[in-house]
C-alpha cells in the first residue's frame, strides 16, 4: 500500500511540474493588448482582401499600422505570439474571443447596411417617373 501511495505521489509531482515549452519573453505583450492587436489585424486583413484599393490608396500596410498603433515592434509581437501559442488551450480561447468580437462587429455592420437600405428604399419609390399620358397630346381638339 505504501508503494502505491509513493508511486502516486511521484506521479503527481511529475504531472504538476509542467515544463514551459517556450520561455516568457522579456517584453511580453499583455494578453488583453494582444487580443486587441490580433483583432485589429484580422479586421485590416479582411479589408485588404475585400477592398484592396482602400488600403493601397493610402499605402497602408496593415501589420505595420497595427504595430505603430500599439507601439510594439515586430520582434516583440512575434515572441509574444509564440509564447501565447505554446499554450494551445489558452490560444484557442483567445481566438474564440476574437471570433466573437468579429461576429459582433459583423452583426453591427450588417444592421447598419440594412438600415441604410431601408432609408434609401422609400426615397427611390417617391422618385418614380410619372406615368405616360395615354394618347397623342399634340392633336388639338
- The arithmetic mean of pLDDT across residues 51-80, rounded, is 85
Rg of the chain on CA atoms, in Å:
30
Name the percent of the chain in helix, strand, coil, to the closest 5.
70, 0, 30
Q: Taking a C-beta distance cutoff of 8 angstroms, is the pair 73, 59 a contact? A: no
18: phi then psi, degrees, rounded to nearest 5:
-75, 125
pTM for the whole thing? 0.66
Question: 66-103 pLDDT, tens per residue?
Answer: 899 999 999 999 999 999 999 989 999 999 999 999 99
SS3 labels along 68-122: HHCCCCHHHHHHHHHHHHCCHHHHHHHHHHHHHHHHHHHHHHHHHHHHHHHHHHH
Q: Which three cell numbers stand for residue 106?
A: 459583423
pLDDT band at 125 (very low <50, low <70, confident <90, very high): low
Torsion of CA 111, 36, 63, 80, to 10 degrees: -150
Place of cell 509564440: 82
Q: What are phi and psi of 19, to 5 degrees?
A: -80, 135
Give the model's confidence band at 2: pLDDT under 50 very low, under 70 low, under 90 confident, else very high: low
Which has the higher per-residue pLDDT, 33 or 117?
33
Domain segments of the chain: what residues?
25-105
For residue 93, the model assigns a pLDDT of 96
**C-alpha cell at position 69:** 498603433
Of 5 and 55, the one with more pLDDT: 55
Segment 20-40 mean pLDDT: 90
Q: Which residue has the higher pLDDT, 124 or 106?
A: 106
Q: How many residues does the chain have?
A: 141
Amino acid at each position: 500500500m505504501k508503494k502505491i501511495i509513493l508511486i502516486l505521489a511521484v506521479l503527481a509531482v511529475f504531472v504538476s511540474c509542467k515544463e514551459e515549452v517556450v520561455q516568457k519573453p522579456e517584453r511580453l505583450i499583455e494578453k488583453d493588448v494582444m487580443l486587441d492587436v490580433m483583432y485589429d489585424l484580422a479586421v485590416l486583413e479582411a479589408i485588404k482582401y475585400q477592398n484592396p484599393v482602400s488600403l493601397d490608396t493610402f499605402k497602408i500596410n496593415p501589420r505595420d499600422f497595427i504595430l505603430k498603433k500599439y507601439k510594439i515592434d515586430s520582434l516583440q509581437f512575434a515572441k509574444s505570439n509564440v509564447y501565447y501559442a505554446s499554450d494551445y488551450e489558452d490560444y484557442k480561447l483567445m481566438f474564440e474571443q476574437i471570433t466573437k468580437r468579429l461576429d459582433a462587429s459583423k452583426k453591427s455592420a450588417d444592421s447598419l447596411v440594412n438600415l441604410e437600405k431601408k432609408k434609401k428604399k422609400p426615397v427611390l419609390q417617391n422618385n418614380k417617373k410619372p406615368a405616360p399620358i395615354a394618347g397623342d397630346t399634340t392633336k388639338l381638339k
